[in-house]
C-alpha cells in the first residue's frame, strides 16, 4: 500500500462518512441489533468486524460496538490491523512471512495509544468507522463508556508469543473484552488476480470468499499460526498479525461467519472490475 493510496483511502472514508450522515449512522446502529454479540464477548470470545466501505459494512461494525457496550465490560481491547503503507513495511512483512527474523526491523512489536516508540498506527484507517459508531452510540445511550484500548501488532510472523509488548497486552486482556478487525479476502484484477480467474462477487466470487475465509478460520481456531500466515498471503488477508494475536490472547476458539457483504474497490485502485474486498462479520466463541 503506497502513501498515495493511503491518502485516497482516507479521502474515500471521509466522503462515505459524510454521505452516511447522522441518519445513516443511526440506521446502521439499528440494523446491527440483528445480532447479540455481548454473551460471546462476556464469555471471552472475540468479534471481528471489517473495515471496508462503511456504506457497505457499517452495520457489521455497529454490531461489534453494541456487543462491547452490552457486555458490561469496563475495558475493551481492539486488536487492529496495521497496514503496510510504506515500501519498507511491506518488505519487512514479505520477508518475515518467508522466514526472516522480525527483530531485524524497527516495526516489530505492538503499537497504539500510550505506547512509546513507533506511531504508524496514527495514519491507519482500520478503526475510523469503529470510532465513529462507538462515539455515536455512546452519545445516543448517554452512558459512561468503557475504556477503549487500541493495539496494532505488526510482524508477528506466526509467533505472537514473541512480539515485544505481548505480555503487557495479555495482562490487560485478562479482564477485558476483545474485538478485532479484518478484511480477510481481497480479490480481482486490482489485487493482482489474472482476468481469467477474477470473479465478480455475484458470479461465484462471494462463494469463493466464504470458502477461503472459512479455511482461515479453521487454521486460526486450531492455533496453526504458521499455516494461517501462509493462508493470509494466498487470500490477500490483512489480518495475519491481528488474527494470531487475539487467538494467542484467548486460546482455542471456534469461528463462524455471521454476515458477509463486499466493497467494490475498482475505482480506488483505478483498476477494471472485478476488483473488490469481502467484508464479513465473524463471531469467535471459546472452543
Return the pLDDT at 7. 94
The candidate with the shortest Cα–Cα distance to 72, out of 43, 104, 31, is 43
Return the pLDDT at 59. 98
Q: Angle at the Cα of 10 (from 246 to 164), degrees rounded to 5?
A: 30
Return the pLDDT at 3. 73
- Counting beta carbons within 10 angstroms of the beta carbon of residue 231, is it exposed (0 to 12), middle (13 to 18) or buried (19 or more)? buried
- Please give the grid coordinates belonging to residue 25: 449512522
| Longest alpha-carbon distance in the chain | 53
Return the pLDDT at 1. 63
282, 256 Cβ separation under 8 angstroms: yes
User: In whole angstroms, what is the distance from residue 201 CA to residue 74 CA?
Assistant: 39
User: In whole angstroms, what is the distance from residue 252 CA to residue 95 CA?
Assistant: 28
Return the pLDDT at 244. 98
pLDDT in tens for each of the 287 residues of the chain? Answer: 677 889 999 999 999 999 999 999 999 999 999 999 999 999 999 999 999 999 999 999 999 999 999 999 999 999 999 999 999 999 999 999 999 999 999 999 999 999 999 999 999 999 999 999 999 999 999 999 999 999 999 999 999 999 999 999 999 999 999 999 999 999 999 999 999 999 999 999 999 999 999 999 999 999 999 999 999 999 999 999 999 999 999 999 999 999 999 999 999 999 999 999 999 999 999 99
- What domains, with CATH codes, occur in the chain? 3-286 (3.40.830)
Return the pLDDT at 236. 98
**How far is the CA of 166 from the CAs of 73, 161, 224, 248, in angstroms?**
21, 7, 18, 9
Amino acid at each position: 500500500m503506497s502513501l498515495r493510496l493511503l491518502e485516497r483511502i482516507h479521502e474515500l472514508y471521509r466522503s462515505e462518512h459524510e454521505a452516511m450522515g447522522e441518519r445513516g449512522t443511526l440506521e446502521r446502529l439499528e440494523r446491527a441489533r440483528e445480532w447479540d454479540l455481548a454473551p460471546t464477548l462476556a464469555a471471552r470470545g472475540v468479534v471481528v468486524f471489517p473495515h471496508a466501505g462503511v456504506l457497505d459494512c457499517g452495520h457489521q461494525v455497529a454490531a461489534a460496538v453494541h456487543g462491547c457496550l452490552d457486555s458490561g465490560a469496563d475495558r475493551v481491547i481492539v486488536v487492529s490491523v496495521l497496514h503496510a503503507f510504506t515500501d519498507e513495511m511491506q518488505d519487512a512483512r514479505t520477508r518475515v512471512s518467508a522466514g526472516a527474523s522480525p527483530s531485524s526491523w524497527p516495526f516489530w512489536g505492538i503499537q497504539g495509544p500510550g505506547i512509546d516508540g513507533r506511531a504508524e498506527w496514527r495514519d491507519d484507517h482500520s478503526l475510523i468507522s469503529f470510532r465513529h459508531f462507538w462515539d455515536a452510540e455512546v452519545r445516543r445511550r448517554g452512558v459512561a463508556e468503557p475504556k477503549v484500548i487500541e493495539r496494532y501488532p505488526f510482524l508477528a510472523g506466526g509467533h505472537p508469543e514473541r512480539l515485544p509488548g505481548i505480555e503487557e497486552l495479555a495482562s490487560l486482556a485478562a479482564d477485558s473484552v476483545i474485538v478485532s478487525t479484518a478484511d480477510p479476502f481481497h480479490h480481482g484484477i486490482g489485487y493482482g488476480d489474472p482476468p481469467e480467474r477474477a470473479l465478480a462477487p455475484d458470479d461465484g466470487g462471494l462463494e469463493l470468499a466464504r470458502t477461503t475465509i472459512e479455511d482461515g478460520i479453521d487454521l486460526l481456531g486450531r492455533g496453526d499460526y504458521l499455516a494461517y500466515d501462509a493462508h493470509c498471503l494466498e487470500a490477500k488477508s490483512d489480518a495475519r498479525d491481528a488474527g494470531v494475536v487475539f487467538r494467542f490472547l484467548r486460546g482455542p476458539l471456534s469461528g463462524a461467519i455471521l454476515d458477509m457483504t463486499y466493497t467494490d474497490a475498482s475505482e480506488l485502485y483505478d483498476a477494471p472490475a472485478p476488483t473488490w474486498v469481502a467484508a464479513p462479520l465473524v463471531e469467535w466463541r471459546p472452543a
